[in-house]
Every structure is written in C-alpha cells, then in structure tokens.
C-alpha cells in the first residue's frame, strides 16, 4: 500500500521510534509534501568520472587496486550553498540527498524524479531508485543530463521525491543484510561493485585456472 500524505505525516511523528520515518533536515514540509510523496533535496557533494587512460573497470583486479582506480578516476566536488554544480549534456554524476533518511522495517520507499526537472532533461537515477526497509543514510542520485543544454544544480533544490510503501515488517533490514555496501553513508559514495562476493569467487576460479595451466 502506498502511503498518502496523512499517512506519511503520521509516520514522521509516530510516537513509536521503531515505526517512525526520519528525514532531516525538514526545511519546508509545506512545500515538500505531495499527495503520496515527499520531495527531497540535492546535497552538496558530487562525483564525476574524469577522462583518463583507464580503459575499463577490471573486476579481476584486487579490490584495493580497483578502489585505487576509482579514487584516481573520480573527481570530487563539494559545492557551497550558493554555487551551482553544472551538469553538462550527456554527463553523468553521482550526488546525494541533502537529507539524512531513516526508513522503518515495515516501509520500503522509491526515489523518483520530479517532472519539473524531467522536462529539462534531468534524470536523477539510472536504475536504482528502490530504498530497502531499515535504510539509514543519504540516498544516492545518479544524475544524467539527457538534454542539449547544461543544467546548473544548486544544493538544496528539490530534484527528487520519495514515495513510501507499507508492508509486513522485514527481519532482514538493509544494514544487516549480507554484503551491504552503502549502509550509513552520509555523503555521496561511488560504486563498490567489486565488493560483490561473486567477483571474489570468479577471481579465485581464474587464479586456479592459471595455476592449472589452462
């Protein structure tokens, strides 16, 4: 069941901390509330891929080596409250919500764009708009400008909205599931794809194949 505005409000002030949705800072709830959604704002830190001679992300390297590749390849920008980050046509950038978000165990959420920005060609996530029950931290935006005009993005503008779905209480909250990689992050975090356990197994199989002379 998707929560309506009364139900979202009710969850934000629920006397039971276990059932409460936490979103802070709540800068102006009157502007942020919709019939079944709550707008969220753009944070201050951004990451974009630099041009480099790195040909591809090689998951067969060691995790530390891939992390080093990522560190070298990502440019980090921290914008002041009054300075825009300009997203150029065709560019992809990571950012995060200004808000810290905490979702109770019987709620899942979806992060969606706002039509105001969609009309300018801004997409706020590539594929990962789902927020698990028990999530704590800042949500990641995967920003793309699919128009032909650069888009200046000021920290604090409402570029996304969250809608909430109530269900049965999970016993596997996001921060307790195996292989969780982004729990508790309060800033923009780049991908940790190489920490997925499948890659460890594939790396091992590759090494064994090499040793066996195959």
Partner 1 sequence: MLKLVLSRLFFEIVEDIVALDQRLAQARQHVDASQQVVVDYLLAQVDQLRQDTLSHRQALVSVLEDTVAGDELETVIYGLLSEQLPTAVDRLHQLTQLLYQMDSRQIQSEANQVLGSLNLNRLMAGDNPGVVLMPVASREGVYLEDRHQLRHEETWAVVQDVPLLSLNNPLHWFGLTDYFMQAFSTRTVQVASLIEELQLGFELPLDMLCPLFNLRLLGPSYYAHYVLQSLKEGYQPWFWIVEPTLFQGLNRFGFVNKDLVILHQSLEKARAFVEDGTEDNDELKLSDKDREALLGIVEKIIPDILAFVEKHYQRAQLLGDRLEQGVLISAVPMMVNPSQLHDTLVQQLASDESFSMYPLLASLKESPAKPVEILNAGFLYKLEKTPLWVRYALTELDDDEAWTFFTDKILSLQNVLAKSIETARVFEVLDGQAPDGPQTRVGGPSLKTLRQTETELARL
C-alpha torsion 65→66→71→77, nearest 10: -170
Minimum distance from residue 175 beta carbon to partner 1 (Å): 10
Question: Applying CB under 8 A, does 18 fall inside the site for partner 1?
Answer: no
Query: Which residue, 36 or 147, is less far from partner 1 as judged by CB?
Result: 36
142 is catalytic: yes
Q: What would the x/- binding string for partner 1 be over residues 104 to 133, using CB under 8 A?
A: ------------------------------
User: According to CB under 8 A, which residues from 122 to 181 bind partner 1?
Assistant: 136, 155-156
| Active-site choice (142, 166, 198, 208) | 142
Q: Which is nearer to partner 1, 34 or 149 (CB)?
A: 34
Which of these, 115, 113, 133, 131, lies nearest to 123 by C-alpha position?
Answer: 113
Minimum distance of partner 1 from residue 82's CB (angstroms):
6
- Binding partner 1 by CB under 8 A: which of 21, 40, 43, 111? 43
Q: Counting contacts by CB under 8 A, is residue 182 touching partner 1?
A: no
Q: Indicate the SS3 state at residue 95.
A: strand
82 near partner 1, rule: CB under 8 A: yes
Q: Are 85 and 93 in contact (CB under 8 A)?
A: yes
The residues, ordered by sequence, that sit 6+ positions from 39 with a Cβ below 8 Å of its Cβ are 31, 32, 33, 114, 158, 160, 161, 162
Copy the structure tokens of residue 44: 């201050």
Q: Which of 2, 25, 89, 202 binds partner 1 (CB under 8 A)?
A: 25
DSSP symbol at 53 = S
CA dihedral 72, 75, 77, 83 (to 10 degrees): 160
Q: Which is nearer to partner 1, 31 or 149 (CB)?
A: 31
Residues in Cβ contact with 114 at an 8 Å cutoff, skipping those fewer than 6 apart: 39, 158, 159, 160, 161
Bridge partner residues of 76 (DSSP): 47
Active-site positions?
A: 142
Binding site for partner 1 (CB under 8 A): 5-6, 9-10, 12-15, 17, 20, 22, 24-30, 33, 41, 43-44, 71, 78, 80-82, 98, 100, 102, 136, 155-156, 184, 186-187
């Amino acid at each position: 069941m998707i929560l309506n505005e009364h139900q979202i409000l009710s969850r934000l002030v629920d006397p039971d901390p276990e059932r409460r949705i936490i979103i802070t800072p709540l800068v102006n709830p009157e502007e942020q509330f919709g019939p079944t959604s709550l707008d969220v704002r753009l944070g201050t830190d951004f990451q974009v891929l630099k041009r480099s001679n790195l040909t591809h992300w090689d998951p067969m390297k060691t995790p530390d080596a891939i992390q080093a590749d990522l560190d070298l390849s990502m440019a980090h920008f921290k914008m002041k409250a009054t300075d825009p980050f300009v997203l150029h046509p065709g560019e992809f950038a990571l950012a995060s919500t200004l808000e810290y978000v905490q979702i109770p165990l019987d709620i899942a959420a979806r992060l969606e764009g706002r039509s105001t920005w969609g009309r300018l060609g801004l997409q706020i996530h590539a594929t990962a708009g789902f927020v698990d029950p028990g999530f704590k931290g800042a949500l990641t935006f995967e920003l793309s400008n699919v128009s032909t005009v650069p888009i200046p993005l000021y920290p604090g503008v409402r570029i996304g909205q969250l809608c909430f779905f109530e269900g049965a209480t999970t016993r596997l909250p996001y921060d307790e599931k195996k292989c969780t990689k982004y729990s508790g992050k309060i800033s923009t975090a780049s991908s940790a794809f190489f920490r997925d356990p499948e890659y460890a197994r594939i790396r091992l199989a590759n090494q064994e194949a090499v040793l066996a002379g195959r």
